Structure 1
Amino acid sequence: MTCQLIADCLDEILEYLEEDWLTLHSCLLVNRLWCELTVKILWRNIWNFKNFKNQITQLRAASSILSTLISCFPNESKELLYKNNILISPPTSKPPLFNYAAYCRVLSTYGIDKIVNNVLDNKSLLNHKRDLVANEIFKLFASQISSLKKLIYHHNDYYYIDFSFNYFPGAKDLSELCCVSSLPSNFFYQLSQVCNNLQSISINIINGNISNELKELISLQNNLKNITLIAFHGNWSEIIPVLMKHSNTLIKLCLYSDDDNLPLLFISLFPNLQEILLSFPNIFHIFENFKEFEASTREFKDFKKLQYVNFPKLQTLKIPFHCPKTEYIINFLENNGKTLKKLYISRSDKVISLSVANFCPNIKSLYIIFKNDELDILKTIFISCQCLESIKITCGIRHLNKKKVLETVTNYSPKNFHELKIYSSSYSDISSEDLESFFISWKNRIPKKLLTLIMIKGDFFTSLDMKIIKKYENFGIIKFKIKRWDDEEEEEEFFKGLY
Structure 2
Amino acid sequence: MRDDPQINDIDNLNLSMKKLPNTVISLILLGGIPCNTSLSFITNFKDLQELKIEYLHAEGFIGFEDLQHIIFPKLQILNFVYAFPKSELLMKFLKNNGNSLKEIYLFEKYINNIDNSINLAIAKFCPVLRKLSTAIKNNKLETLKIILDSCQYLESIKVCCGSLFLYEKEVLDTIMEYSKNIHEIILDYYEYLKVEILPEELESFFLNWKNLIPQRSLSLVVVDSFSGLYEDVRKRKIIKKYIKLGVIKEFKVKDLSDEDLYAPHRFKSAY
TM range (shorter): 0.7 to 0.9
Alpha-carbon spacing, 1:276–1:395, altered in 2? closer, same or farther (3 Å): same
Retained in 1: the 8 A contact 2:33–2:59? no
Secondary structure, in 3 states, of the residue corresponding to 1:417?
A: coil
Q: Which amino acid aligns with 1:272?
A: D
Give the superposition deviation at 1:300: 2.4
Secondary structure, in 3 states, of the residue corresponding to 2:106?
A: strand
Q: Which amino acid aligns with 2:172?
A: L
Instruction: Give me the TM-score of the superposition, normalised by structure 1.
Output: 0.47
* Aligned match for 1:264, one of 39, 54, 62: 39
Secondary structure, in 3 states, of the residue corresponding to 1:459?
A: coil
Say yes or no: does 1:340 pair with 2:101.
yes
Secondary structure, in 3 states, of the residue corresponding to 1:250?
A: coil
Partner Cα distance (1:258, 1:300) in 2:
7
Query: What does the per-residue CA deviation read over 1:378-397, in whole Å, with 9 as the maximum and x for residues that have no partner?
Result: 01100000110001000011
* Aligned match for 1:350, one of 99, 113, 116: 116
Instruction: Give me the TM-score of the superposition, normalised by structure 2.
Output: 0.84
Secondary structure, in 3 states, of the residue corresponding to 1:410?
A: helix
Say yes or no: does 1:310 pair with 2:71.
yes
RMSD over aligned Cα, in angstroms? Answer: 2.0
Retained in 1: the 8 A contact 2:23–2:46? no
Partner Cα distance (2:197, 2:176) in 1:
15
Give the superposition deviation at 1:483: 0.8
Retained in 1: the 8 A contact 2:39–2:66? no
Give the superposition deviation at 1:299: 6.1
Counterpart residue number, 1:40: none
- Matched residue count: 244
Counterpart residue number, 2:183: 418
Give the superposition deviation at 1:372: 0.7
Counterpart residue number, 1:28: none
Give the superposition deviation at 1:329: 0.4
Counterpart residue number, 1:377: 143
Alpha-carbon spacing, 1:406–1:314, altered in 2? closer, same or farther (3 Å): same
Give the superposition deviation at 1:245: 4.3
Counterpart residue number, 2:267: none
Give the superposition deviation at 1:304: 1.5
* Aligned match for 1:453, one of 212, 220, 224: 220
Q: Which runs of 5+ in 1 are unaligned?
A: 1-206, 209-230, 283-296, 489-499
Retained in 1: the 8 A contact 2:158–2:185? yes
Query: What does the per-residue CA deviation read over 1:82-140, in whole Å, with 9 as the maximum and x for residues that have no partner?
Result: xxxxxxxxxxxxxxxxxxxxxxxxxxxxxxxxxxxxxxxxxxxxxxxxxxxxxxxxxxx
Partner Cα distance (1:486, 1:409) in 2:
26
Partner Cα distance (1:239, 1:280) in 2:
15
* Aligned match for 2:50, one of 275, 281, 287: 275
Query: What does the per-residue CA deviation read over 1:351-388, in whole Å, with 9 as the maximum and x for residues that have no partner?
Result: 11100010000010001111111111001100000110
Q: How does 1:234-313 map to 2 (within 5 A)?
A: 235-261=9-35, 262-282=37-57, 297-298=58-59, 300-313=61-74
Secondary structure, in 3 states, of the residue corresponding to 2:61?
A: coil
Give the superposition deviation at 1:342: 0.5
Retained in 2: the 8 A contact 1:456–1:486? no
Q: Which amino acid aligns with 2:95?
A: E
Partner Cα distance (1:429, 1:298) in 2:
35
Query: What does the per-residue CA deviation read over 1:317-360, in whole Å, with 9 as the maximum and x for residues that have no partner?
Result: 11122222111000000000000000011342111110001000
Partner Cα distance (1:254, 1:344) in 2:
14
Q: How does 1:385-424 map to 2 (within 5 A)?
A: 385-413=151-179, 415-424=180-189
Q: Whose helix fraction is larger, Structure 1's or Structure 2's?
A: 1
Larger Rg: 1
Partner Cα distance (2:137, 2:8) in 1:
36
Q: Percent identity?
A: 39
Query: What does the per-residue CA deviation read over 1:265-322, in whole Å, with 9 as the maximum and x for residues that have no partner?
Result: 211111111011111115xxxxxxxxxxxxxx53622211210011010001111222
Counterpart residue number, 1:361: 127
Give the superposition deviation at 1:264: 1.6
Q: Which amino acid aligns with 2:33?
A: D
**Larger relative contact order (Cα-Cα within 8 Å, sequence gap ≥ 6):** 2
Counterpart residue number, 1:159: none
Counterpart residue number, 2:256: 485
Retained in 2: the 8 A contact 1:316–1:342? yes
